[in-house]
Amino acid sequence: MQLSAVDSLIEKIVTGMSFECVDIERSGRGMLRVFIDSPQGITVDDCALVSNQLTRAFAVEGVDFDRLEVSSPGLDRPLKKPADFERFLEYEVKLKVRVPRNGQRNFVGQLVSANETSFSLLVEGTEEPLSFEYADIERAHLVPEF
């Protein structure tokens, strides 16, 4: 099964179980990591339930993997989709852009707006929010609140 087909299968199963598929990572030696979330948060039992379901589906579909990890995205949850940015309006976000803007690639600020193509951060030391296109973002994640 091709990688995109595996991602689609994972997404379908996770959302079918009323969870959000936040991210899918692959690393050496057949390791597959799936990060799930829900408005109520994620428990160890939730992770075990999703892991068991994915393992069964992988056996049926012939998905080749050596190890599967299912976990919550953590306090520094990655933001991947426009819906993530819309959901976390007013939260503090750290991001890295692909191409430097005025010699700077890393930004931290409050997420003040988001739509299907872009979002804006109010960065400390600026009076106006900075606008970013999703296509220009290398990575973005929430800044943990303690």
The tens digit of pLDDT for each residue in 49-73 reads 999 999 999 999 998 889 999 999 9
Per-residue pLDDT at 30: 82
120's CB contacts (< 8 A; 6+ apart) are 111, 112, 113, 114, 129, 130, 131, 132
Which CATH architecture does the domain made up of 3-71 adopt?
Answer: 2-Layer Sandwich (3.30)
The pLDDT of residue 146 is 78
Query: DSSP E strands: which ranges in the chain?
Result: 20-27, 31-37, 67-71, 92-101, 104-114, 118-123, 130-133, 137-142
The share of the chain scoring above pLDDT 90, in percent, equals 81
Return residue ranges of the chain for CATH 3.30.300.70.
Answer: 3-71
Nearest to residue 128, comparing CAs of 141, 112, 142? 112
- CATH 2.30.30.180 intervals, the chain: 82-142
In the predicted structure, residue 97 carries a pLDDT above the cut 80: yes
Going by CATH, does the domain composed of 82-142 fall within 2.60.40.10?
no
Q: Specify the pTM.
A: 0.81
